[in-house]
Structure 1
């Protein structure tokens, strides 16, 4: 995933090489959360199940094969085709901690699920700050 220019200085200069080592050498080109393969298109259901073309089976959101295939209703409700792109993620959300144990190769879905609590925390902080600035400079909110 591209790094925003304003966040670039938080990452080491060799980040592209470090990320490639984590994603392709250590993880073997598959998501460490669910096992989705990098660069391939996969069929996904809304609950996280996805079709593994190599093994010819449906897998759950954790990459484990499901015991029973999805019903016709599940399939009719919506099957999305997504291209899997792996990204190196910081497990503790600290971009200065680039130890191998702190980095994980995640697909888009696993990366967003991993970052969800941090995004919620930042969103609350941003809204709280905006409200405080509004109270300080413009009086109470309407």
Structure 2
């Protein structure tokens, strides 16, 4: 994942070395995701390997380092995960949606537009992650359906 210029100051100076150590020394060049992305991987761990074709998307895997708590300042081993692009994007999906909403609201406010509910405050919540790409195979129903609660029926 490219680092946005406005966030560069949040990463430690030795981030390239930390990231390389996580991806290639600790993870051995293979995605470490074991369900943090919301998927059940065959064998318990994502099979994607750096430089090879991704088993689901077919694109070349570029291993990344994900911050599980979405805070770049936190470079503790337990907060970092070597992840393929698919797993990393799924891990960050909810965070990206919330950040985009906040950015658009701030941009609109700066332009002088009032929100529909000016007294309401935006609260960060993590929405469900999107379904996994199927790339020509029949998806397993349990992996590709987001859990939605059944509506409660009113007693009359």
Question: What range describes the TM-score normalised by the shorter chain of this pair?
Answer: 0.5 to 0.7
Mind listing any 5+ residue stretches in structure 2 that lack a counterpart? 34-45, 117-156
TM-score scaled by length of structure 1: 0.65
* Structure 1 residues 36-87: Cα deviation after superposition (integer angstroms, max 9, x where no partner): 001112342xxxxxxxxxxxxxxxxxxxxxxxxxxxxxxxxxxx52000111
CA 1:140 to 1:15, structure 2 compared with 1: closer, same or farther past 3 Å? closer
Matches within 5 A, 1:71-90: 80-90=57-67
Matches within 5 A, 1:87-102: 87-102=64-79
- Asked which structure has the greater RCO (Cα within 8 Å, sep 6+), the reply is 1
Q: Provide the secondary structure at the position in 1 that maps to 2:48.
A: coil
Shift of 1:119: 0.5
Aligned to 2:29: 29
* Structure 1 residues 67-116: Cα deviation after superposition (integer angstroms, max 9, x where no partner): xxxxxxxxxxxxx5200011111100011110000000011000000001
Mind listing any 5+ residue stretches in structure 1 that lack a counterpart? 45-79
Structure that is richer in strand per residue = 1
How far apart, CA to CA, are the structure 1 residues paired with 2:108 and 2:21? 43
CA 1:30 to 1:132, structure 2 compared with 1: closer, same or farther past 3 Å? same
Q: CA RMSD in A?
A: 2.1
TM-score scaled by length of structure 2: 0.60
Q: Is the 8 A contact 2:51 2:61 kept in 1?
A: yes
